[in-house]
Amino acid sequence: MSIIDRYLTREVLQYFCIILATIIGIYIVVDFFDETDIFFESGLSFPSAFFYFISKMPVVQFIPVSVLLSVLVTFGLMNKNNEITALKSGGAGIYDLLKPMLLIGALFFFIIILLSEAVVPIIKNRAEKIWTQESRKKSSATLKEKDIWIKGDRLIAHIGYFNSTDKTVNGITLNFFDDNFRVIRRLDGGKGVYKDGLWTFYDIIEQKLDGSDGKIIFHKEIIEKLDFSPEDLGKVAVKSEAMNVTELYDYIRKIESEGYDATKYRVDFYAKLAFPFICIIMCIVGTGIALRLKAKESLPVSIVYGIGTVFFYWIFYSFCLSLGEGGVLNPLVSALIPNLLFLCFGVFTLLHAE
């Protein structure tokens, strides 16, 4: 590695740490005070509450933002001090300046993979256990073997799959009890939809066990008022960020083999594979933007461009994933389009940077 490469790498990493720490600090101040009441009401001890709060912090999503801004700040300051002009006068081309940026992007590519696969799932699962075991507001819903179990008022419900996209449940078993905890009624069915405080279940088999003849009744549709809502289920449902790629793939195969729609999890699966590449792409975009600007305007305009680029990326990224979850786009395509678009934008800015 040349002296220039080491210098650029050191400067970018230095500003990356400062920018990432600033973003995390702002997040903690804003979000912590916003959720203070929730932590006090939950009854969690301060260490547990702080750990739970930190576990919700999207550090992985902060990394590409920090990478882009650190590249822009580094080149912006160099441009302002005429260092870029001096390097070009010495024979350094734009691709000589891009090479260390690509190495930095590759470094953070692997860091994101490490965090997403090994660190974040462990922290997320640990945080959920803390909330479930220590919170005063004990949830009636729990997750076991990735199935949801709910204890209500003289009711125990089992849900095989909760679709958080359309707020529906599949693979339902409802057991109703009397005051002596004897089963008096059981419902088994395929799909349930929540509307106006009521659950509508379809293709239901009802069995009455309240001392009658235990007869079985088939219903095409039945409406029940139960103690839980989609919001309650969403708190304990399987979350993609709590699984690594292998676990998520196995879960997709499991629920699809049972006949359930796994579109949302397929989108999340491909997004997990595609997202780390954005660090490399942001390095390309940042280099192209910074080197196109004039020395006097380079730093402030670079930061504005950087913030605008990040904002547009997250809007477009979320929009594409929503289209994938809604079935408008293929899950793989919805995860790849944002990266491909910004890669083309980065290459375009580099080609015109000279």
- pLDDT 10s digits, 16-29: 999 999 999 888 88
The pLDDT, as a whole number, for residue 65 is 93
Residue type, 67: V
Q: What is the pLDDT of residues 53-81, one digit of tens each?
A: 777 788 899 999 999 999 999 988 888 88
Q: In degrees to the nearest 10, what's the CA dihedral of 215, 221, 224, 228?
A: 120
The label of the residue with tokens 């729990």 reads: 142
Confidence of residue 102 (pLDDT cuts 50, 70, 90): very high
The pLDDT, as a whole number, for residue 43 is 63
Span 108-137, average pLDDT: 79
Q: What is the pLDDT of residues 135-151, one digit of tens each?
A: 545 546 666 657 788 88
Q: In degrees to the nearest 10, what's the CA dihedral of 67, 68, 71, 74?
A: -100
How many residues does this entry show for the chain? 354
Instruction: Identify the top-confidence range among 56-60, 155-159, 252-256, 309-313.
Output: 309-313
* Whether pLDDT at 39 is above 70: no
The label of the residue with tokens 């039945």 reads: 222
The pLDDT, as a whole number, for residue 136 is 47
Span 130-134, average pLDDT: 61
Q: What is the pLDDT of residues 280-298, one digit of tens each?
A: 999 999 988 888 776 566 6
The domain ranges of the chain are 3-135+253-351, 147-236
The pLDDT, as a whole number, for residue 213 is 63
Give the Cα separation of 153 and 177 in Å (integer): 9
Give the Cα separation of 71 and 291 in Å (integer): 11
